[in-house]
Amino acid sequence: MFAFELWREYRLSVAELFSLFPKMEVVYFDEKILLVNNIEENELLKIAPKIWWTIKINKIQSAIRDSGSSPEWQSTIFEYMKDFFQERKTNYAINFYWKVKTNQKDFLLKSKKYFAKLWLSTRFVNQDFNNIKSYLVTKEKLIDTQTDFNIIFINSEIFIWNTIYVQDIESYAKRDFGKTRDMQIGMLPPKLAQMMINLSKNETMLSSWTIVKDPLNNASITKQSSRDSSLHSEWQNQFNNSYTQLPIYDPFCGLWTILLEAIIAWDNEIYGSDINEDMVQTTKKNIEFIKDIFENDLKTYEVINLDAKNIANWPILKNHMIWAIVTEWYLWEIFWKLSINLEKVEKQRIILAQIYEKFFFWLKRIWFTWNIIISFPFWEIKWKYNYFEEIYEIINEYCVISKFFPDNFEVQSSRSWSLLYKRPDQTVWREIFRLQIK
């Protein structure tokens, strides 16, 4: 059994995990923690560096059957921990998740005494008796010693687990692109871009395949499906093995946030287009930059100047060489709290809807059957939400919405099965959908 410590927007974290491990079984879930079964440890560790919305990954070695009411429960935990201490001095940390029945400071001090009595040389590294920050887990090498311990009470069991993976926070600093990243363009937060890439890699691709295989006796489609069937089995093999590395495309690529994150995530084939030639040139520079500072496996990439309204003109799409579209809306104008008003927003909605109407129309025409992960805006004006109504109509006409969570999972996304995201200082919300063309 594994435990994932989730980010602040925990629904996004869980959606990412369901996408990467569609067969996982949820044992327990709250806003901080997800306990799951049915994941292979080897596979998990291979994919771990690409699970961006999980803070820590933990392996549950043991669940102690005790409601915390018997006096021995603390020593049972200390006994469990002691087996991880070596002869040489070992650092450790104990983290509490909110369903814990004792004071963390007392518990840490008791543990220290307990181990001292056993002549074990140990030192807890929790600062101010609080849960330890991720970077400290790395600094104190607690993954190597398996001595970052975590505790939660669930019903009559105490789950205790050891951290086996922690996110590499430092790699975020490396993403500082300086001048070539202009906030006015409305860059997608890298973290969200990563998550959207992962949402595109899931099994619903399989169901979209059945749509392709239903060729309605149409000669040209039949030809496509015979071509695709070899690709499909290749894809299926890859999918069964682990994380899929299949070409993705961003048709509003701007500064390539999505595609740069795909390179960092070891994708080897990526495509982008944008209506603005400056963006096309800048993103080429960004690619060279990212290739230099991050290890990668990039073999093929192409970025062209293209109006997304004419998306069907690009042969790579017609020939079904793209396996997922991952993109965000075109931000006509960035609105800040003081500059936003209803009139401006409504104007923007109309322009955006015209682009998207054509965009989906052409995707349907060329039978684009793979996942489309797309983020649309809605606006907050004086504490009221102004929804992008036009886009819901367009989606209804051209797409099916693929859910992020299984039906029986108690936490659902929004009413329209989307995921919501907002940066604290912004007036625009992002609404993320996984779509397939009908």
Q: How far is the CB of 412 from ligand SAM (least distance, A)?
A: 27
Judging by DSSP bridges, how do beta strands 25-29 and 54-65 pair with one another?
Answer: unpaired
Q: Give the integer Cα–Cα distance in Å for 71 and 244.
A: 49
User: How is residue 205 written in tokens?
Assistant: 């691709």
Count of residues that bind ligand SAM according to CB under 6 A:
21
**CB nearer ligand SAM, residue 75 or residue 354:** 354
Quick check: helix, strand or coil at residue 86?
coil
Given 270, 298, 331, 345, the residue binding ligand SAM (CB under 6 A): 331
**CB nearer ligand SAM, residue 202 or residue 257:** 257
Quick check: helix, strand or coil at residue 405?
coil
Given 21, 330, 362, 370, the residue binding ligand SAM (CB under 6 A): 330
Q: Which of 110, 93, 109, 106 is nearest to 151 (CA)?
A: 93
Residues with Cβ within 8 Å of 280's Cβ and at least 6 positions away in sequence, in order, are 273, 274, 303, 304, 305
Q: Give the integer Cα–Cα distance in Å for 131 and 262.
A: 32
Over the window 412 to 431, marking each residue x when it contacts ligand SAM by CB under 6 A and - when it does not, the resulting string is: --------------------
Q: Should residue 308 be labelled a site residue for ligand SAM when binding is judged by CB under 6 A?
A: yes
Q: Give the integer Cα–Cα distance in Å for 63 and 418.
A: 35
Q: Let me know the angle formed at the C-alpha of 104 by 156 and 169, rounded to the nearest 5 degrees.
A: 100
Q: How far is the CB of 321 from ligand SAM (least distance, A)?
A: 19
What's 20's DSSP letter? Answer: H
Judging by DSSP bridges, how do beta strands 428-437 and 399-401 pair with one another?
Answer: antiparallel
Given 328, 340, 386, 427, the residue binding ligand SAM (CB under 6 A): 328
User: How is residue 253 written in tokens?
Assistant: 């690529």
Judging by DSSP bridges, how do beta strands 148-154 and 90-96 pair with one another?
Answer: parallel
Radius of gyration of the chain (CA): 24
**CB nearer ligand SAM, residue 348 or residue 402:** 348
**CB nearer ligand SAM, residue 136 or residue 306:** 306
Q: Which residues of 28-54 are buried (b: 16+ CB within 10 A; e: fewer)?
A: bbeebbbbbeebeeeebeebeebbbbb
Please check whether residue 327 is in contact with residue 374, taking contact to mean a CB–CB distance below 8 angstroms: yes
Q: How far is the CB of 106 from ligand SAM (least distance, A)?
A: 47
Given 110, 309, 344, 364, the residue binding ligand SAM (CB under 6 A): 309
Over the window 233 to 262, marking each residue x when it contacts ligand SAM by CB under 6 A and - when it does not, the resulting string is: -------------------x-xxxxx----
- Residues paired with 375 in a beta bridge: 328, 432
Residue nearest to ligand SAM (CB): 254
Q: How far is the CB of 258 from ligand SAM (least distance, A)?
A: 6
Q: Give the integer Cα–Cα distance in Å for 1 and 308.
A: 45
Q: Should residue 185 be labelled a site residue for ligand SAM when binding is judged by CB under 6 A?
A: yes
What's 99's DSSP letter? Answer: S
Quick check: helix, strand or coil at residue 370?
coil
Q: Should residue 312 be labelled a site residue for ligand SAM when binding is judged by CB under 6 A?
A: no
Q: How far is the CB of 170 from ligand SAM (least distance, A)?
A: 22
Given 233, 241, 276, 300, the residue binding ligand SAM (CB under 6 A): 276
Please check whether residue 62 is in contact with residue 149, taking contact to mean a CB–CB distance below 8 angstroms: no
User: How is residue 255 written in tokens?
Assistant: 């500064």
Q: Should residue 377 be labelled a site residue for ligand SAM when binding is judged by CB under 6 A?
A: no
Q: How far is the CB of 194 from ligand SAM (least distance, A)?
A: 12
Please check whether residue 369 is in contact with residue 209, taking contact to mean a CB–CB distance below 8 angstroms: yes
**CB nearer ligand SAM, residue 225 or residue 247:** 247
Q: Which of 416, 422, 365, 419 is nearest to 393 (CA)?
A: 416
- Residues paired with 91 in a beta bridge: 123
Q: How far is the CB of 183 from ligand SAM (least distance, A)?
A: 10
The interface with ligand SAM within residues 94-153 (CB under 6 A) comprises: none
Over the window 344 to 373, marking each residue x when it contacts ligand SAM by CB under 6 A and - when it does not, the resulting string is: -----------x------------------
- Residues paired with 376 in a beta bridge: 431
Q: How far is the CB of 257 from ligand SAM (least distance, A)?
A: 3
Q: Which segment (87-95, 119-127, 272-280, 341-349) binds ligand SAM by CB under 6 A?
A: 272-280
Given 77, 186, 196, 272, the residue binding ligand SAM (CB under 6 A): 186
**CB nearer ligand SAM, residue 376 or residue 405:** 376
Given 6, 33, 60, 279, the residue binding ligand SAM (CB under 6 A): 279
Q: Should residue 275 be labelled a site residue for ligand SAM when binding is judged by CB under 6 A?
A: yes
**CB nearer ligand SAM, residue 24 or residue 260:** 260
The site for ligand SAM (CB under 6 A) is made up of 185-188, 252, 254-258, 274-276, 279, 307-309, 328, 330-331, 355
